[in-house]
Amino acid sequence: MRVFVAGTTGTLGRPVVKLLLSRGHEVIGLTRSATRARALSAAGVTAVVGDALDRVTMTALMAQTRPDQVLHLLTALPPAGPMRRRDLTATNTLRTIGTANLIEAAAAAGASRMVAESFVGVYGPVPSGRRVHEDEPLPPPGRTATAEAVEALRSLEAQLRDARATGRLTTVALRIGFLYGSDVPATQAMARQARSGRLYAPRDFTGAGPFVHVDDAAAAVVAAAEHASPSTVYNVVDDQPVKLTAFLADLAAALGAAPPRHVPRWVVRLAAPLMAEFGSMTLMPANDRIKRELAWRPRYPTVSDGLAEVRQRLAEAA
């Protein structure tokens, strides 16, 4: 299968490309950098240079490479993760305009399917304490720090649904949980903070959220690409939501570092309003559908399992 990957060198794109190649697929990798294109070529990827926000270029590249499928894994997040609303602006644009360009180019080139990276934040505020499933109506995004990002995610998914409904492409949206892993820049940044005694955690955040190891998320992307008849949308999360404060404490413990320093909620809201919002929210997406339909099982079913990999890999790299 010829697979066009937009977001080849990103946090999720890297393990997806590695897995695709290991399974015998031909990978066409989009990058905006000639330097990265050379590195991709050396790794066995057919590299193409272009910007997903340029519709003319995307149409030409797809027509030239004629992929069977397109994977939309484009984000533009800061290495340490988004802290403020402006940190999401570029990614919002990729999820709105970039999605439209990729759909049009893929359909014109005769691709049969597009699998796209969405995010569990698409649910917005939901009642606490219960599992949410893919077919539930989405509530209004509300007037929050993440409202624009939620709207961009919903635009991405709406565009995919429309392309599927009109017969242009089979489309799949993957609502992925909070990514972590030894190769995830945000995890690496938190590990450095923990080891230097500069990892801080809010004292009184009670929310809980869904995490997923990046390797498990990559496996879900490939499963959605390879399955004969996938559904329109899947939650891609591990088996046990955890509190943000618990994740930070478990990360520090896994690295043998001191526990995170506690700070008042108002300090976090001032310094990192996005983290404060997610840390206060309880979001519990169910992963039953992807397990049942795509035979996907997380290699790391809980954060504790995944942090063992983080500890080992970071120790080896030290």
Residue 314 and residue 307: Cα distance in Å, rounded?
A: 10
How large is the average pLDDT for residues 230-258? Answer: 94
Assign 118 to helix, strand or coil: strand
255-285 pLDDT per residue, tens: 999 999 888 877 877 878 777 777 777 889 9
Residue 117 and residue 71: Cα distance in Å, rounded?
A: 8
7-29 pLDDT per residue, tens: 999 999 999 999 999 999 999 99
45-62 pLDDT per residue, tens: 999 999 999 999 999 999
How large is the average pLDDT for residues 294-314? Answer: 94
The answer to whether residue 314 sits within a structural domain is no
The CATH number of the domain where 65 resides is what?
3.40.50.720
Provide the pLDDT for residue 126.
Answer: 65
The answer to whether residue 84 sits within a structural domain is yes
Domains identified in the chain, total number: 1
Residue 124 and residue 140: Cα distance in Å, rounded?
A: 7
The answer to whether residue 315 sits within a structural domain is no
Range of the domain at 8: 2-178+213-237+285-295
pTM to 2 decimals?
0.95
pLDDT band at 107 (very low <50, low <70, confident <90, very high): very high
The answer to whether residue 226 sits within a structural domain is yes
Provide the pLDDT for residue 15.
Answer: 98
User: Which stretch of DSSP H or E encloses residue 276?
Assistant: helix 273-280
The answer to whether residue 204 sits within a structural domain is no
How large is the average pLDDT for residues 33-50? Answer: 95
115-168 pLDDT per residue, tens: 999 999 898 766 566 789 999 888 887 777 788 999 999 999 999 999 999 999
Provide the pLDDT for residue 282.
Answer: 82
The answer to whether residue 303 sits within a structural domain is no
Provide the pLDDT for residue 68.
Answer: 98
The answer to whether residue 272 sits within a structural domain is no
Q: Where do we find the tokens 């990978």?
A: 27
204 DSSP assignment: S
Q: Compute CA 17 distance to the chain's CA centroid, rounded to the nearest angstrom.
A: 14
The answer to whether residue 126 sits within a structural domain is yes
185-228 pLDDT per residue, tens: 999 999 999 999 998 888 777 778 899 999 999 999 999 999 99
